Homo-oligomer: A and B are copies of this chain.
Amino acid sequence: MSVQERKERERAARERLIVATARELAENQGWDAVTTRRLAERIEYSQPVLYSHFRGKREIIGAVALEGAAEMAVALRAATAAADGPRSRVTALARTYLDFAERNPAVYDAIFRLDGGLAFAVEDTPEPLKDAFAALLESLGEVAGDGVHPALFTEVFWASLHGLATLTRAGRLPAAEADRRVELLVDRLAVV
């Protein structure tokens, strides 16, 4: 059965190549530039090959989203682990979140803005997404304040960060005062 195993390995490698190429293309030229034709050309296969791995473009976005969510969770945990005390953990968390969104705009969009066909906030939400939320919850839960449900607080804080991230990048907010906005947000929302 070694032949079949080799084929499966090669197939898995090609699938990773598709996701990585889609991500790179999206990051360099935006998701609009990620067309099935261009993607197929980059991986040096024909279009229909993409459809033997994914149902369609939306699922490719979803795959990039899952990969990105896992990375984001790692980044958030690394940042908070390096900080002392609840307050500085929250600040580090917020900065890291916004930094991730700014450095990986296409991946961020795949996770939080585009339709990747993923389920959110329900039973069968994919693990990486649940875990990214868990990473937020770990640090934010400890500054929710008395009588406030940690998950609810996390949702509000997360939504605020998301708003800052998207409005800033869309040019709706001037980039200049970004740091002062984060400071204000943490000051007011977190109970330390």
- Give me the interface of A with B, judged by CB distance under 8 Å: 112-113, 119-121, 148, 152-153, 155-156, 158-164, 166-167, 170-174, 177, 180-181, 184-185, 188-189
A152 in contact with B181 given A112-B172, A121-B172, A159-B160 (CB within 8 Å): yes
Which of B119, B156, B173 touches A121 (beta carbons < 8 Å)?
B173
Which of B155, B172, B174 touches A173 (beta carbons < 8 Å)?
B155
A152 in contact with B173 given A160-B159, A189-B188 (CB within 8 Å): no
A to B CB contacts below 8 Å, 9 in the list: A113-B113, A113-B170, A119-B171, A156-B160, A156-B164, A159-B181, A162-B167, A163-B164, A189-B189
A33 smallest CB distance to B (angstroms): 15
How far apart sit A159 and B189, CA to CA, in the bound complex (Å)?
Answer: 14
B residues near A164, Cβ cutoff 8 Å: 156, 159, 163
Q: Is the CB of B166 within 8 A of A152?
A: no
How far apart sit A174 and B154, CA to CA, in the bound complex (Å)?
Answer: 13
Name A's interface SS: helix
B residues near A121, Cβ cutoff 8 Å: 171-174
B residues near A155, Cβ cutoff 8 Å: 173, 177, 181
Residue in A148, A156, A180, A185 whose Cβ sees the most chain B Cβ within 10 Å? A156
A184 in contact with B120 given A162-B163, A163-B159, A166-B162 (CB within 8 Å): no
A81 smallest CB distance to B (angstroms): 25
How far apart sit A188 and B188, CA to CA, in the bound complex (Å)?
Answer: 6
A156 in contact with B181 given A162-B166, A188-B188, A188-B189 (CB within 8 Å): yes
A42 smallest CB distance to B (angstroms): 25
How far apart sit A170 and B161, CA to CA, in the bound complex (Å)?
Answer: 16
Beyond A160-B185, A163-B163, 14 additional pairs, beta carbon < 8 A: A112-B170, A113-B113, A120-B171, A152-B180, A152-B181, A153-B184, A155-B173, A158-B163, A158-B167, A159-B163, A159-B173, A159-B181, A160-B160, A188-B188
